[in-house]
Chain A
Amino acid sequence: NAGVTQTPKFRVLKTGQSMTLLCAQDMNHEYMYWYRQDPGMGLRLIHYSVGEGTTAKGEVPDGYNVSRLKKQNFLLGLESAAPSQTSVYFCASSRTGAEAFFGQGTRLTVV
């Protein structure tokens, strides 16, 4: 099993550009999450999904959109990137009452 796979692993964007981060899990997990990690701060929840076709806002959703058209995939979109979105992004998945599994992270720099 691959677990949770994030693509890409690194990306540099110019301000105003758009991009999509892909998260794929092969564990048939219901729950999927996108977090961002910034220096001096804990991981913060951007958006999450409790099942295929559902999404919900987390703590810091502004500037991001998500979609979960298939149970195994959770996409995070940045429509118009800003320098404040420079961060390391982590995807995670879990099922009820069990541990969470994390992707390896995507390091995004917006210049």
Chain B
Amino acid sequence: KNEVEQSPQNLTAQEGEFITINCSYSVGISALHWLQQHPGGGIVSLFMLSSGKKKHGRLIATINIQEKHSSLHITASHPRDSAVYICAAQGGSEKLVFGKGTKLTVNP
């Protein structure tokens, strides 16, 4: 069983919709990362959080340490948000354990 589970695996939305991607982890962590991978393949960090909530533009990330659960929300989704979103749990030596990713497609 993967230590980091994401849902859903695939998500299709219409432009403007509110999107939620979920991440559950079973290991002790020092932080939880949300990453974005575009079709070109590059991976960029969106958020790193160890408690509470962070917001950047239309993206919001939350984490509940007690429940070992995190969510990534996208408000007013846009086709350019289409990408794979990856959750990763950070442990010792800053190592990351990754979920399998959620492929998001936003249609115009």
| Contact between A43 and B86, CB atoms less than 8 A apart | yes
Q: How large is the interface on A (under 10, 10 to 19, 20 to 34, 35 or more residues)?
A: 20 to 34
Q: Knowing A31-B93, A40-B100 are in contact, say whether A102-B43 is a contact too (CB < 8 A).
A: yes
A-side contacts of B35, CB under 8 Å: 102
Q: Mark B17-43, 1 if CB is under 8 A from A, else 0.
A: 000000000000001010100000111
Main secondary structure of the interface of B (DSSP, over half): strand
Q: Which residues of A are in contact with B by a Cβ distance under 8 Å?
A: 31, 33, 35, 40-45, 48, 50, 56, 58, 88, 90, 92, 94-102, 104-105, 107
10 nearest A-B residue pairs (beta carbon): A42-B98, A102-B43, A99-B45, A43-B98, A42-B100, A99-B48, A105-B41, A31-B94, A104-B42, A94-B94
14 contacts between A and B (CB under 8 A): A31-B93, A42-B4, A42-B86, A42-B100, A43-B96, A56-B93, A58-B95, A92-B96, A99-B33, A99-B45, A100-B94, A102-B44, A104-B42, A105-B43
Q: Which residues of B are in contact with A by a Cβ distance under 8 Å?
A: 2, 4, 31, 33, 35, 41-45, 48, 86, 88, 93-101
